Amino acid sequence: MMAGMEITLNAPLDMHLHLRDGDMLKLVAPLSSDFAGAVIMPNLVPPVTDPGAMLAYSERIAAAMSGEPFSRYMTLFFTAQTEQQLRMAAETPGFFGYKLYPAGITTNSEGGVANLAEADSTLNMMQDMGIPLLVHGESHGFVMDREAEFLAVYRNLATRYPRLRICMEHITTAAALQLLEEFENLCATVTLQHLIITLDDVAGGALQPHLFCKPIAKRPGDRDALLQAALSAHPRLMFGSDSAPHPRCRKEACGCAAGVFTAPLALPRLAELFATHHALDNLQDFVSGNACRIYGLNPVQKQVTLHDTPMQVPTAYRSYGQQVVPMYAGEQLSWSVKR
């Protein structure tokens, strides 16, 4: 790679971000501030299920950002809703959509959906109102097969609700990509880690707890298919970091918490990845253009310039009594944000 390369991104977006709450929020929110905005996940304890709680959470995020311009696209934890409840949500400033978790499938999802048939009325009203549905798409089957088993659910949802915008969150398999070719009302997000690692990187040698996430990383063929789709800026594939901070003591422990923390290094590592594959021209669409077109977004105006100057990743981020270990902790990346 030739020295002196750089790219300026207009309003980069993270379409799937966990910011947690309390002191953890205060630590990690500023570390996402190179993005112009993000879709914020609602699986707090307790989950964000009503517009009042959503507004209060959005205000806490704004306070943690300390005035940094940042579009907060807020989601509500999916439960069966009345028409009045849906209209109240749709009229709430900052509301983006509902996030559906199968009950007990991931962090803080115990109150999720156990029977999709009970959601029929809500989903019908959502498609009439133009409210997006974001889905954590895993079954309760064998861990490597959970996404593949859930694809039938996606197919059923896309067929039964053809006007409902359905986002397959953090896809990890080549088979999920194929569904995007079958249904116009499906789109998807993909994480940084699933473009780079496989299960072998997580558990092929000594266990790497800071690479453990759900959905779990899959096979090389799946990783390669996702990477090719991202590099080519597939029109219905968007970057969503699923950056999921946990205290170090919960990652380096028995019962390791699922989640990879990538927020502060996502843009430099993506620039490095796309430059290595001679695809920098497609990075803008992957990290912003596709999302703005799919959802009609108009984020705050923010430009971020990345250049091929090395970045040293801290061994951990520490503040407010919290300590979070990022992906690539202690390593050097080839690209960085130009300050």
Residue 55 burial (CB count, 10 A): 16
Q: Omega of the bond prior to 215 within 30 degrees of 0, cis?
A: yes
Residue 102 DSSP class = B
Identify which of 75, 19, 48, 9 has the alpha carbon closest to the alpha carbon of residue 241.
Answer: 19
Q: What are phi and psi of 29, to 5 degrees?
A: -60, -50
Task: Give catalytic residue positions.
Answer: 242
Instruction: Tell me the C-alpha to C-alpha distance, in Å, between residue 11 and each of 19, 35, 38, 238.
Output: 19, 7, 10, 14
Identify which of 136, 115, 126 has the alpha carbon closest to the alpha carbon of residue 161.
Answer: 126
Inter-residue contact 134 to 169 (CB < 8 Å)? yes
When computed from its CA atoms, the radius of gyration of the chain, rounded to whole angstroms, is 19
Task: List own/partner pairs for 111-120 with CB under 8 A and 24 or more apart.
Answer: 111/46, 111/47, 111/77, 111/79, 112/77, 112/78, 112/136, 113/78, 113/79, 116/153, 116/157, 118/80, 119/78, 119/80
CA 321 from centroid of its chain's CA atoms: 25
- Which tokens belong to 44? 């707090």
Residue 184 burial (CB count, 10 A): 11
